[in-house]
Amino acid sequence: MHLHKYEKIWLAFGIGSLILFLVIVGINAFVTGHQPPSSDKTVDPQVVGEIAPFNKPGLKKIGKNEYQLVVLTSAFSFDVGTQDKVVEIPKGAKVHIIATTKDVVHGFEIAGTNANMMLEPGHISETTQTFREEGEFTLLCNEYCGSGHHLMHAKIKVVDQS
């Protein structure tokens, strides 16, 4: 088979790029432990509000500068354990986020961070986020969930406590 010199160049370029991307994704997955946020854990969405930890949503300290944030969503709100839907997190804290939904599919995105996952009824989604920068971050639903979708949001306030 005859291949033009230029064809060899772009074939090598394409195959090389593919290998490079896969190696980087592989290193991210196996060395730095970056995984999809949906864990294998399941829960009955009908009674999830009575089951721990979702019976008490909110922020809980679990270690030195380490927290657990439990969020239970339903159309059209994020239950983050506070009336005003604001969660205060100390600057630099590592937060393990555990979330699920009572009804339909919702999105969970903390704008400006890597925390972004889909919440499916019956499944528990988990991700870990370290909040290094002070400021206010919007927690929003990025999966269309119904007529009140655009009203579905909460706030993460990262405060310097030192």
Q: Are 89 and 115 in contact (CB under 8 A)?
A: no
Least Cβ distance, residue 13 to other proteins (angstroms): 6
Nearest distance from C-beta of residue 98 to other proteins, angstroms: 19
Nearer to other proteins, 17 or 42 (CB): 17
Q: How far is the CB of 26 from other proteins (least distance, A)?
A: 13
In whole angstroms, the minimum distance from the beta carbon of 93 to other proteins comes to 15
Q: Which residues, 6+ apart, have CB-to-CB distance to 113 below 8 Å?
A: 129, 131, 137
Q: Which is nearer to other proteins, 39 or 114 (CB)?
A: 114
Min CB(68)–other proteins separation in Å? 19
Binding site for other proteins (CB under 8 A): 2, 4, 6-7, 9-10, 13-14, 17, 21, 24, 112-114, 130
Instruction: Please say which residue, 49 or 135, places its beta carbon nearer to other proteins.
Output: 135
Q: Which is nearer to other proteins, 2 or 84 (CB)?
A: 2
Q: What is the SS3 string spanning the chain?
A: CCCCHHHHHHHHHHHHHHHHHHHHHHHHHHCCCCCCCEEEEECCCCCHHHCCCCCCCEEEEEECCEEEEEEEEECCEEECCCCCCEEEEECCCEEEEEEEECCCCEEEEECCCCCEEEECCCEEEEEEEECCCCEEEEEECCCCCCCCHHHCEEEEEEECCC
**Which residue's CB is nearer to other proteins, number 20 or number 62?**
20
